[in-house]
Amino acid sequence: MAQDQVCFSQEQDKCMGINFLAVDGGNELQKDQFSGIIGLAPASTEEKSIVPSFIGQNNKVFSFYFSKGSGSTGNLKFGGYSIDKFAKSGSTEQDIIWNNLVEESEGWTIPLQGLRFHNGSKVEIKSEQITLDTGLSYCLVPPRDIDDIRKSIQAQTNITCKQEGFDELDMFSCDCDQKQYNMIKPLQMNINGRFFTLPVDAWMSFDPSKDSKQCKILMHPYDISMTATLKWVLGL
């Protein structure tokens, strides 16, 4: 079980704790009918709904804080955000980075201008957009982009990776040891000219208890793009 707080005003006494099941693994995701919290998607001119879009009403802000594991409580706040409580110590309004959506009909999708490793080595991916999704733990990434990441890892560390099975959502397992894993650099996404860092353990795992295939790329090779523009779905 996990717990989040849901707040309906700036006052802490207007918050309530919500318990829910935390899932750290799953399969056959392509058969699921995904949906978010009712009304939190941007208004779409292509779909009719009797539920008014939250983003089209007053105080068009909601914020998430994700728990950091056992002993930490997440928070969902409607109508604002709390820098003092949830941001890095010393942060101010000037530290918030706002990004425009590609277009409202695409949901919470923002531009992606490239990908590189923290050492500056560029990864030649094809995707140009990222959809942000609080309902995913990992990423859904077009297979061709994962292939480019896999080739870059092999060139830098001599780690070889292969898809675990034959299902389109199966991840890539890699032959590696602790020394090779330590050589892997964080990934950085270029979003509107700013680089946002994905720590290594956010997209590549290492399991020393295994005799082989100790590393795994934590990205599902799956393309949800409905147009010629390729996109990632980034689990938050």
What residue spans define the domains of the chain?
Answer: 1-96, 100-236
More confident residue, 54 or 232: 232
Which pTM does this prediction carry?
0.73
Residue-wise pLDDT for 58-68, tens only, equals 556 788 887 77
Mean pLDDT over the full length of the chain: 80
> What own/partner pairs with CB < 8 Å and gap ≥ 24 does 147-154 have?
148/123, 148/124, 149/115, 149/123, 149/125, 149/187, 149/217, 149/219, 150/217, 152/117, 152/121, 152/123, 153/184
* Domain spanning 100-236, CATH architecture: Beta Barrel (2.40)
- The residues, ordered by sequence, that sit 6+ positions from 91 with a Cβ below 8 Å of its Cβ are 83
Pick 33 or 127 by higher pLDDT: 127
20 pLDDT higher than 70: no
